[in-house]
Amino acid sequence: MKKITGRSRDFILFLLAVALFSFSQSIINAVFNNFLKDTFAIGSMQRGILELPREMPGFLVVFVSALFFFFSSRRLAVLANILAAAGVCMIGLFSSTFKLMLVWLFIYSIGQHLFLPLNQSIGMEFARDGRTGRRLGQQTGAMNFAAIAGSLLIFIGFRYLDFSYTLSYLVAGAGLLAASVLILGMTPGTPQSIKTKFTLRKEYRLFYWLNILYGTRKQIFLTFAPWVLVIIFKQETQVLATLLFIGGVIGIGFNPLLGRAIDRLGERFILMSEAVLLVIVCLGYGFSLTLFSKSIALYITCACFIADQLLMSVSMARATYIKKIAVIPDDVPQTLTMGVTIDHVFSITIALASSVIWDRLGYQYVFLLGAIIAGVNLFSASRIAIPEKKMAVMHDEVLSTED
């Protein structure tokens, strides 16, 4: 039996931690929209406004990260999961009013948004040169297994075991707390300087712009895609859990293949392909009910939900892109974090604007806006270029490390 090295042990611990994070996220995503409808009976305008406290931590993440400059990325990941666990448990236990729930949601969201860029930057630490996409694909595949478990638990729990929203949130909180314990068991790592955490470089301007477009597209999906299923099609928690389950099952094979495709075909091709598919998905969300009967439109909308869920994994391509063009290696984690902050300025704006559009014009126009954003993303992704010298080095490394 091969001896497990410190690096291998750290990777196993991290893989288990991100799997638990994904398990908890899947539970929260499956119940959150029905929880809002059943507990507070909010409308589309309130649903959009709710994104302000939920997404504001994404904007603040670079400042919160800098506040803990004396922490390494791994220790910051521990803190992130503890905050997320505390917030989600409080949502389940002490949401007697909508305003109080927003406080706990803010705390949960700080932890969640702190961990999202760390998830990718720490994961890339375990990749051999030239195979970053493959490593992230493997990591995302493992997260899909866990997401399947979370969505399956919610489906069975609400359909057969009389699960409550409170119990669901407590299980999710336990998963996040366990993830923090696993990351705490890893080698601590070295903190970055406070100066490094606030660096903005002109060389990364296309990366920042792609993150802005990703943030706006992501917000439409996270906020309004499940809301269409819950409000327009009157679907219950079990249905959302089932769709997350199906997406997770497909993702087991899809995400490792996507990681390999990023390494072989490049970020430009993958991100342009994503943009084309997103145009189709957004139009499916918005206009299936206009063109087809309600039963057929529901199937189309569910298919779009699953496709959109899978396409979220293309964020790997943006992470590998910044690693390839990084001026220095230390830029990678802070630039990923800075990207989250920048994209959330626009994702908050798009959430508020989309709630007004839904309320005044109808939900169809929210997704028409999403299709337009995807079109802009297509053009922007076509501008990606990796310096030839780096491309040649990475090509040789891929050939020399193939299985």
Q: In this structure, is the dihedral angle defined by the CA atoms of residues 55, 58, 59 and 60, taken in order, positive or negative?
A: positive
Spatial separation of the C-alpha atoms in residues 219 and 354, rounded to whole Å: 10
Q: Tell me which amino acid residue 335 is.
A: T
Spatial separation of the C-alpha atoms in residues 225 and 329, rounded to whole Å: 37
Spatial separation of the C-alpha atoms in residues 149 and 25, rounded to whole Å: 11
Q: Where are the domains of the chain?
A: 6-401
**Phi (first) and psi of residue 97, to 5 degrees:** -130, 160
Spatial separation of the C-alpha atoms in residues 147 and 170, rounded to whole Å: 16
The pLDDT tens digits for 324-357 are 888 777 777 777 777 777 777 788 788 888 888 8
| Number of residues that make up the chain | 403
Q: What is the largest CA-CA distance in the chain?
A: 65
Residue 392 banded pLDDT, cuts 50, 70, 90: very low
Is pLDDT above 70 for 397? no
The pLDDT tens digits for 107-119 are 999 999 888 878 8
Contacts of 257 (CB under 8 A, 6+ apart): 137
CB 53 within 8 A of CB 352: no
Least Cα distance to 375 among 224, 269, 274, 268 occurs for 274
Other Cβ atoms less than 10 A from the Cβ of 11: the count is 21
The pLDDT tens digits for 302-321 are 999 999 988 888 888 888 88
Spatial separation of the C-alpha atoms in residues 340 and 130, rounded to whole Å: 25
Q: Tell me which amino acid residue 333 is.
A: P
Range of lowest pLDDT (58-62, 176-180, 195-199, 211-215): 195-199
pTM over 0.75: no
What is the rounded end-to-end Cα distance, in angstroms, of the chain?
Answer: 20
CB 149 within 8 A of CB 165: no
Overall CATH class of domain 6-401:
mainly alpha
